[in-house]
Structure 1
Amino acid sequence: MSKHDPDDDNGPFGRPLFDDPSARALSRVGVVDVGSNSVRMVVFDGAARSPAYFFNEKLMCGLGKGLAETGQLNPEGRVRAVAALRRFALLAKGMGIGPLTVVATAAARDASDGPDFQAEVLRETGLRLWVVDGPEEARLSAQGVLLGWPEAKGLVCDIGGNSMELAQIGDGQVGTRVSTQLGPFRLARISDNPKKRAAHIDQVLAECQAQLNSEGQRIYLVGGSWRVIARLDMERRNYPMTVLHEYRMLPADLLQTLDWLETSNLEDLRTRTGTSSARMELVPLACEVLRELIKVLKPSEIDVSSYGIREGLLYEQMPARLRARDPLIEAARSVEKTMSRIPGFGKKLYEFLQPLFPDASPERVRLIKAACLLHDTTWRTHPDYRAEACFDNVTRANLGGLDHPGRVFLGLALLHRYKNSRSGSRLEPLFELLSEAEQRDAEILGKAMRFGAMFAVSDPSDVARLVWRPELNQLELKLTKNGHALFGEVAQARFTSLISAMKAEALIGERA
């Protein structure tokens, strides 16, 4: 069972984070995850539905290393973990974020000296560990996936050093959960024979499958070992982007990577990918688990989630109406509010441009909305670098609810917000994640925003209106008297560029 202060009715936070159900802003909240391999502190800041990472630091302590043999926490890891927690407590105090929420998982719950470790942490740092059991850990990790991936449906698989949790998710809910001892630290003592380890993994997964009934579903991977394998998959494929969140792999392709890793120099790969020695040490055994996971559960697709137990704790506190919000749009609104010259203009720009996209799918509409909200958030950057800065910000940002093609589409649209041509750009390899038609659509959106921004002194709809007649391939711009005054030479050139991208005929009309 989860252990916490019996007087605490609000779970690990000790207080409700969202007293106001309509709350969008969230003050800084600190969370620490004490795992079998690492101890990490994250401070969330910004939009509640899509929190920004104000601070993120981890230490590879190896707290659970050797636990399977001794039944106790690793002595050196324990010293390092207490030192890390002492530092984190002082940092939190300096940031003025209030008490840290500290969650401990498999190592602390399974070790015979776990209670003594809890007492030591409280005595030395003033921090109270909230130790969760396996099913609760699975639930929190699954909720973390839902925070950044609201439509996620399938199976969440969270691997740590001493355990691996699985949970069904769908329709914004967490279903059946199971906890196993398939963490690499545990597997290391099963046998020196890979075939015997594979048989053991198969047996455990078959028992999980009987409870989960998850064959053929999408699997969402959570955990450091999975992220390292995904990064290595990118390396093998020469994938142009290194953002791991929402990186998607087909089982057959991933099996090729696992075969490739068996014959590769892991030390060389560790150096090339910037992976720590402590993480890479667990990769071979994690690969064995992943291979059998594919064999037994037969997933349709395997996706990586950078969100896990820490984000799940935030999701736990959110009322339904806040959970229902789109994390991408919430993040874009937050960025617009703090970084644009005219906060609120993004919505007006979207409404002005909406006639250009009458048949856009819901997914495309949300990308158009996000682009309009972000269209003016890099204005402080030097003009020579503004276009590529837009692209870099979006493709590298920690955004939820956005797959890799979506990142590139959004980035390319914002690039064209500031630059007519993308030819010869250093970013060209990334453009290949989109089809030619998608690249053209992103260019049209960018040039439309570039033109619409010329009416930023007011609501564009008050002075101009766009009428798109696809059957005639004709775009008409209807202007009021003030609209004509705003439609100067630069605006005319931008309108011509938009017309060229659309390969359409232009008309200029009068509007009352």
Structure 2
Amino acid sequence: MNRIGIIEIGVDIFNLTLTEVDDNGYFKILNEIHSSAKLTTSLLDNTKLSEEELNVTIANLKSFKAMCQVSGVKTIIAVATETFREATNSYLLADLIKDLLSIDIKILTVKEEINYNFLAVSHSIYFDNSLLVNIEGCSTHISWVKDGKIKESLSLPIGYLNITSNYNLADEISLEDIQRAEEETLQTLRECAWIKENSFDSIISSDIIVRSLGRIDRPKKKYPLDVAHNYEMYDVDVFNHFDFLIGKDLKSRKTIDGIKTREANIIVGGTLILKNILKLSNIKSVIASSNGLSGGLMYDYILNNFNITEKNMLDYSINGIMDKLNLNKSHAHQVYFIAKKLFKELKPIHKLGNEFDDILKTAALLHDCGTSIDYYNHHRHSFYIILSSEIKGLTHKQMLMSAAIAAYHRNNQFKLPLSQYNSILNKTDLKHIDYIGTILKIAEGLDRSLEGAVKDFSVIINSDKVLIYLNSRVDLEFEINQAMRAAKYFKNLYKKELVIQKF
């Protein structure tokens, strides 16, 4: 096990992300610390960092290094983005920081920054054809990713700081200023012809603007999950939030639920850029990613220092959670093997497609994760552990359905209060949860001895019965009795009698 500290020096903020890496290459975030950078003057007025700004940088890095040492961090990865990249004295300052603090700062090029963000998103969200957008202080990076590769990319000289400063968008906003800001933004964006000439499924972003809009959007919609990663908004949501925000002065914006104090003065300028990218591209969907530059740096570190056998992001995430919680992996995989085959064999009855494969996999492999807290109520704990684990590759609906199915794996009368999630799950989804949950009950019963006794089985469906014939070298009376405890649930749902016998 190793602990890594990721330090990011941005135009208006310093970030420290403390992570823990297991021996299998799975990592989790232990802590995040943010500190105001106040380096905007150099970027907006000139291209040289002042002595005062250098002192601010050194003071923050000194504190971050101390936190890393106290937390047992062995490796520090420090990068600087546009602040140092644009400063004429950046390399002299980087050398000074190395001499004073023994911290090597890598000054990222635009291409490197885009690639790290791509690495982060592509390892945490499934997508085929999207724009990756990162709105920063004085620039906006846009890349077109299709079929897992960056097809086009560019960096535009507009960001939330210079747009805000140039057009007085920090406090009270005049109609004239907002119109002038719109004109400049659109004019700059139109220089990128490939955005307007092609179609895209979504915008995916990890920047401060989209994350802030997500925090505004969820309470307004009374969204039941406080999960930022993979949260989806729509173009009309962004437009409505923009119209709402421009009518507020700075003091009023600071009181809006979801906006952090440091975001209140730049949220209008950043949202204006996002709104115009949406208009130009005609994209309808905006997806937030909690994996940004620090995530990309971590994935780069993992890929270069560990032999990662799991290339699928969902498998990587699930296996990491299983190892972290010390779950019985052989039992989990046996339950998944049985549940997966049962799901396939019962398709003529439940008529569910392959779109439920990831849900079934997650629920089956993590059904016992709640035992890490308490055995007797572990099904309840499994529900909120899955919901709280930010499993890579799952949408919010998939994550919620996986958690609910895992919670139903025991043969008891337990029912989740799923009505509170009706903005995510509809009645059909609840029926699907019951279908797959009953399959998981049977699969759990057939490995209740934890021995992996069932080697294979066949399923025969007739007019009034479903017959499961088990293949094993050992007696299966115990497993069959345990699995048959789900017979009444099966009959109620599938409208057929369940019969399980050893072949």
The equivalent of 1:34 in structure 2 is: 9
Percentage of identical aligned residues: 17
How far does the alpha carbon of each residue in 1:117-166 deviate from its partner, in whole angstroms, 9 at most, with x for none?
Answer: 32332133211111112232122212211111244422100112222111
- Give the CA deviation at 1:64: 3.0
TM-score (norm 2): 0.85
Does the 8 A contact of 1:209 with 1:297 survive in 2? no
Residue type of the alignment partner of 1:346: A
Distance in 1 of aligned mates of 2:36 and 2:264: 12
Distance in 1 of aligned mates of 2:485 and 2:139: 61
More displaced 10-residue stretch of structure 1: 283-292 or 216-225:
216-225
Out of 353, 364, 369, the position equivalent to 1:377 is 369
Distance 1:105 1:214, change over 3 A: farther
The equivalent of 1:86 in structure 2 is: 62
The equivalent of 2:443 in structure 1 is: 452
Out of 107, 118, 126, the position equivalent to 1:142 is 118
Residue type of the alignment partner of 1:438: D
Residue type of the alignment partner of 1:342: N
Distance in 2 of aligned mates of 1:175 and 1:187: 28
The equivalent of 2:227 in structure 1 is: 243
Q: Please say if 1:309 is aligned against 2:289.
A: no
TM-score (norm 1): 0.84
Distance in 2 of aligned mates of 1:306 and 1:95: 23
Q: Please say if 1:194 is aligned against 2:178.
A: yes
Q: Please say if 1:392 is aligned against 2:384.
A: yes
Residue type of the alignment partner of 1:336: M
Residue type of the alignment partner of 1:482: D
Q: Which secondary structure state, in structure 1, belongs to the residue aligned with residue 138 of structure 2?
A: coil
Does the 8 A contact of 1:356 with 1:468 survive in 2? no
Structure 2 counterparts to residues 105-504 of structure 1, below 5 A: 105-192=81-168, 193-210=177-194, 213-263=197-247, 270=254, 273=257, 275-316=259-300, 318=303, 325-358=311-344, 359=347, 361-382=353-374, 386-418=378-410, 425=417, 427-454=418-445, 455-460=447-452, 462=454, 465=457, 467=459, 469=461, 472=463, 474-478=465-469, 482-488=475-481, 491-504=483-496
Does the 8 A contact of 1:392 with 1:411 survive in 2? yes
Residue type of the alignment partner of 1:41: L
More displaced 10-residue stretch of structure 1: 120-129 or 270-279:
270-279
Distance in 1 of aligned mates of 2:139 and 2:221: 29
Distance 1:352 1:146, change over 3 A: same
Residue type of the alignment partner of 2:129: K
- Give the CA deviation at 1:400: 1.5
Q: Where do 5+ consecutive residues of structure 1 fail to align?
A: 1-25
How many residue pairs are counted as aligned between the two chains? 483
- Give the CA deviation at 1:202: 0.6
More displaced 10-residue stretch of structure 1: 492-501 or 177-186:
492-501
Q: Where do 5+ consecutive residues of structure 2 fail to align?
A: 169-176
Distance 1:387 1:239, change over 3 A: same
Residue type of the alignment partner of 2:332: G
Q: Which secondary structure state, in structure 2, belongs to the residue aligned with residue 188 of structure 1?
A: helix
Residue type of the alignment partner of 1:301: S
Residue type of the alignment partner of 2:150: V
Distance 1:339 1:222, change over 3 A: closer
CA RMSD of aligned residues (A): 3.1
Does the 8 A contact of 1:143 with 1:312 survive in 2? yes
Distance 1:233 1:153, change over 3 A: same
Does the 8 A contact of 2:335 with 2:440 survive in 1? yes
Q: Which secondary structure state, in structure 2, belongs to the residue aligned with residue 29 of structure 1?
A: strand
The equivalent of 1:98 in structure 2 is: 74
Distance in 2 of aligned mates of 1:432 and 1:472: 37
Distance in 1 of aligned mates of 2:440 and 2:400: 17
Distance 1:128 1:163, change over 3 A: same
How far does the alpha carbon of each residue in 1:425-456 deviate from its partner, in whole angstroms, 9 at most, with x for none?
Answer: 2x532254123222222233334333433323
